Amino acid sequence: MSFNFTGKTVVVTGAAQGIGQAIAYAFAKHGASVFVCDIDENLLQETVKKCGGTTQGRQVDVTNQQAVKAFIQEVGSVDILVNCAGGVRGQEGKPIESITVDEWRALFEVNTDSTFWCSQAVAPLMKEKGFGRIINISSGAGLGISLTGIQAYASSKAAQIGLTRQLAHELGPYGITVNSIAPGFVRSNPSSEKQWQKFGEEKQKQILDSIAMRRLGKAEDIANGVLFFASDASSWITGQILSIDGGK
């Protein structure tokens, strides 16, 4: 399957590294005008440099509704939104009784709230055109359990999946599709690499043995799924969650 996004404007959040960077690069490679954002401005410039062409980067805190609105207003008409910002914000798994209010809310802000604010900002523009693609990068943890044991991560990613389904029904009549990708474990950034090393050899082997393909994924594997959801080939697919996890 070949992709051509010439003439399309794409926004990718959380694009400073890892999966987000791979997604931005894939769209740029296939002709799109790409706007990337992240809270880490220095790393984001590496993405802009790698993508080249018409790619532009902005430092944006996507947990801030007003900052998101200002960013989207600057971009203008958006054809494709990829909500990739998210993660564990440095948290590690620990017993439920020790979780603080701030720790719990922090992961909902970055994984769920940001998806809502960004989708909310682009929706009116997409409605006007009668076309749009919103692709949310969730996690296998949102469909099952978190390998790290972080309760708020699993819960916030599950909430993001629920939001995907709800928005698909709300926005479908306007020609807008909303889908989600649930990646398996991908060693794509320092945070995921730290998690992987912390598992230890025995648990690493257990994880690999539970995957049909017997390997971890790459950021490019996730980007390929995003390209499909953004393409005309998926025009009658919405409200769906695609697990890209090597087979579970």
Number of helical (H) and strand (E) elements in the chain, helices listed first? 8, 7
Please indicate whether residue 153 is annotated as part of the active site.
yes
Three-state secondary-structure class, residue 120: helix
Gap between the Cα atoms of 85 and 107, Å rounded? 11
DSSP letter at 215?
A: S
Q: Which element (helix H / strand E) includes 238? A: none
Q: What is the rounded (10 degree) CA torsion for 25, 27, 33, 35? A: -60
**Active site residue: 153, 159, 179, 246, which one?**
153
Joined together, the tokens standing for residue 240 give: 């769906």
Three-state secondary-structure class, residue 237: coil
Gap between the Cα atoms of 195 and 18, Å rounded? 14
DSSP letter at 111?
A: I
Kindly list the distances between the CA atom of residue 191 and the CA atoms of 87, 90, 167, in Å, as whole numbers in the listed order: 8, 7, 30
In 10 A of CB 47, how many CB atoms? 26
DSSP letter at 70?
A: H
Three-state secondary-structure class, residue 171: helix
Gap between the Cα atoms of 117 and 94, Å rounded? 29
Hey, which residues are catalytic here?
A: 153
